[in-house]
Amino acid sequence: MKRGTYLQAKEENKQTVHQGMIALVVFVVVFMAVIVTVAEHAGSDGGFFSFSPGGSDAYHVAQSLVKPATINAGEASFPSGDYRCAKKRDSIFVVTSYYTTRDIDGEDVKTNFRATLRYNGGDKSQPRNWTLVRLVDF
- The string of pLDDT tens digits covering residues 68-118 is 877 665 678 899 889 999 999 889 999 999 999 888 888 888 999 999 999
State what percent of residues in the chain have pLDDT above 90.
43
Residue 60, pLDDT score: 94
The reported pTM is 0.62
All structural domains of the chain with their residue ranges: 1-42, 55-137
Q: For residue range 121-138, what is the model confidence (pLDDT) as tens digits?
A: 888 999 999 999 999 988
| CA angle centred on 93, ends 90 and 95, rounded to 5° | 170
